Structures are given as C-alpha cells and as structure tokens.
Structure 1
C-alpha cells in the first residue's frame, strides 16, 4: 500500500526536493517514531522534503533530540547542513534543544561547526549558550567552534551566555580562551552580567580579567546598569576601587601568555591540585 507523503500539492525546489505544508516524514522524525520513519524511507519518501519555512525532517528530529530518527535520515541521504529560511542548520537545532547526542551525530556526518552567520540566525555555539546547554557548549568548543563568532543580536557566545545568565556556559567559554572583554558596540559581557544583576557572573568575569571600567556606546560602565545599594552594585564598586591582588594579576598574566592552551599546559606541568585548581578557575 502506498503511503501518503504530503497533504498538499508539492512543487520542485531545485535540488532540495519537494515542499509541502507538513509531511508524514516530518511528523515521524519529530515524534521519534523510528519504525514508521524507516517504513516511509523504504517506501520512497524523500528525506530532504521541506515545508514552507524550508524545514526538513532532519531539522525536526534534531530540535526534538530524536537521535535515532536523525541517524535514519542521515543514512538515507539527508542534507546535513541544509538551512531553514531563518538560516538555522540541523546542528543549530540540536544545540538549541540540548542534545549533544544529536549534535555529535551531525558532526560525525560532516556538519559544519561554524556555519556562516546570517542576519536571522546564530551559530550552533550561540544556540547552546542561549539555551544554557553546557554539554553542547563543551562539544562545540572541542569541535573547533569559533569563540569570537559575532551574532548581530547578542554579540559573541560569551555575551549570549551572560545575557541569559548561564554561568556554566560562560565558564566553559572562558576556560576555553574566550575573550572576556570582547565588545559589541563597546558593550562587554560584564555589561550583560550587570544588566541581569548576577553577582556570580560578575565575579567570574572579573576573575578572568573583565574590565569593570569599560564603557559602552552610551558611555556607561557595568556598574551604571545596577541598582544603587544592590549586591551587584556593591560587587562592582568593590572591584572598581580595590586593586587586583598580585596573585590574581599573576594568574591573568599566565593566562594571557598561554592563551587557549592555558588549562592543557597547566595539567602537563603536574602542579599541585590547589595551584592547578586556582589556575583553571575551578
């Protein structure tokens, strides 16, 4: 029996395939119905069929973290880096969904870790930071994701992590060598941390060398975005008026000198745990 593939009359879109409002393949992939999806594929259903937003079944599988379905689609020839109308790749979806399993599968099938940014989308690393998916953040870092990729809306992945108050993601980025003072319109991650009134983020960024005196395009310092008398204001006021300790300055100097290899080199030196923990900001 021939299965119904699309509920609307399809049209051809070049080499991408067919488009329809919604298909059985999309539904099966989204819901994790692996057996049904396999039957549809075997019956000749096109795996690269897209809806009006250029969303493929692979996009749907990844946004729901359906790794088994994603594997079936990829093995059947699904395009791994196809973009939606908003520019999102399946890897962006997997990272937004917090599925390192899906993300790793896509990367193993050749997905681009650093797709070209568009005006409507961010990189997979940005997506992981926005949603607070630290396992995906670590995976993307390990796969060579650019730490200073610049999204029009947020700025760098560190900006995104701080704007969304994801401390673990910010720490993973900083330990990997992200520039703590990278600026978007002169606005740093510390400005974002101040805006969301997050003391833990402020202290983390300062520990990594965040400049409490940096001014944005409105001439404002991070402290200017806090409420007078609030814990974040007291914290920033303290750092503005208290010189860094010699110990702290030595740690920052070592980090700047070693750059992204700082943590790796610290482990190779076989230093005592206390010193190693201090240098790696544990």
Structure 2
C-alpha cells in the first residue's frame, strides 16, 4: 500500500505501509526528504505503531533530516504506541546532535513516568554526551522509574563509569537506587572496583540495607576485589577531607552546584568542591 500525499497511515497498516517520507528519513536521504515535503507529504504521518519520520531520522542519527522535519513542523514529542519519543531514539543511538536539536525545538526529556526515559537509556548504554546535554537542559537526574530505578542505578548495573561520574557530578543522590537497593548494591554485584570507589568517594553508605536486609558487601562475589574494597572501606573511617567536601556540596544543593565556578574562592578550593 502506498500513502497519498498528506495522508497519515490508516488503521490496520503495517511496517510495509510506511510512507516514502519515513524511508527517506530512515536512510538519511535529505534531498529526497525535502522533495517529498514540498510535494505535500505529511511531516507527522505515522505508521500503525505511531512511528513518525522524525523517529526514524533520530534513530539513524540523521541530524540534517531531523532538522528539516522539525523546521517543517514535525512534533518533537510524538509518541509511539510503546511510549518512545524521538528524543529517546536519539539517546538510544547516542546521537548528541539530534538530542540537542530536539530539545531546542521543545522536546521534553520525560513526558510521563510510565514512558521510556531518555535519561535512563543514555545511562544504560553509556552515551555520556547525550547525558551531558540532558543534564544541561535541567533533566531530573534522580528520576525514579519503579521497574528501573534511578539513572544512577541503571548506570551502575550497566557499569557505565563515565555516565556514573556525570550523574554524581551533577548532584545525583548516591543513595537513591531501585526500591531499597542503592547504586552501591548494584555496583557491588559487578566486577568494577573503580565504580565502587567512585560511589564511596561521593558518600555512598556502605551499611545501607535492601529489602532482604543485605548490605552492598553481602552482594559482592566472595573473595573478589570488590568485596575487599568494601571491607577495607568498612574498616577505615572517612577522611575529614572527604566529609568536608560532601557537607559543603550538600549545603550548596544540587540545583546550585553549577554555580561553584562563580564563587569567590581560590581555584584550588573550586577544584576541591568539583572533584577535580
């Protein structure tokens, strides 16, 4: 079946019913895309699954096509039947350029808590450049989705060190994970001592207990390097240096951490507060 110009996909269609506009956007064929738009094809035409050409362009990291569609009136917050937005596709693909473009055209980082989250997707896949952009646009770094937890928890489960660092640096709560499991519980189950040490440096509670009353050290593989790190930390009090930094950052508050460089402080102290 071929769509007529300006028509959306009728009910009962399938993937074979995608319009030529979908195909051009999917393949990054900018000239064809512009030609089809000039001929009157519907920029917001959808498939049976409510996939728009903009979804396709963002999934393929075709920035020029995405820009052309948005300039032609594409809905930056279009949602598929699975709750997928173009921004989610951009973050899933790791397309920072598409993500920035969508946000400039009014895309919302999260429509509803039940929808798939671009922040969680970027954290899960390690797309820290997309995460950087979302954070700069004021996304809630502690957004808690019941079946996933927080972005920090997701990043710890996926062992995405750079995303974990960016979330913590942006003020993510190191204690918020999934239900009673903290990010440290998640990290303790993985082999990375680097991630465990990072969480501890940002004040993770080594004695936190989950619903089964297990501490992070109880989740670690027996005789592993991670278990040794946790046991050593348990036996070693936090330094005054670390406690002071955590106290000051907590007092400043997450919403104002980005203002630290503007404080009338020596560069050494600014670096100290920013973990540099």
Same fold (TM over 0.5): yes
Distance 1:242 1:251 in 2: 18
Unaligned runs of 5+ in 2: none
Structure 1 counterpart of 2:108, from 109, 112, 118: 112
CA 1:10–1:157: 2 relative to 1, 3 Å: closer
Distance 1:147 1:262 in 2: 13
Are the equivalent residues in 2 in contact too, given 1:64–1:97 (CA < 8 A)?
yes
Structure 2 counterpart of 1:186, from 158, 180, 200: 180
- Following TM superposition, the consecutive aligned residue runs of length 4 or more in structure 1 with deviations greater than 6 angstroms are none
1:71 corresponds to: 67
Deviation at 1:12?
6.2
Distance 1:122 1:211 in 2: 29
Are the equivalent residues in 1 in contact too, given 2:9–2:45 (CA < 8 A)?
no
Structure 2 counterpart of 1:252, from 232, 246, 263: 246
Deviation at 1:51?
1.5
TM-score, scaled relative to structure 1: 0.89
Deviation at 1:10?
4.3
1:218 corresponds to: 212
Unaligned runs of 5+ in 1: none
1:228 corresponds to: 222
Distance 1:152 1:69 in 2: 35
Distance 2:266 2:223 in 1: 41
CA 1:96–1:250: 2 relative to 1, 3 Å: same
Pairwise CA RMSD: 2.1
Structure 2 counterpart of 1:53, from 35, 43, 49: 49
Distance 1:19 1:62 in 2: 18
CA 1:154–1:12: 2 relative to 1, 3 Å: closer
Structure 2 counterpart of 1:86, from 82, 88, 91: 82
Deviation at 1:48?
1.2
2:20 corresponds to: 24
Deviation at 1:86?
1.2
2:265 corresponds to: 270
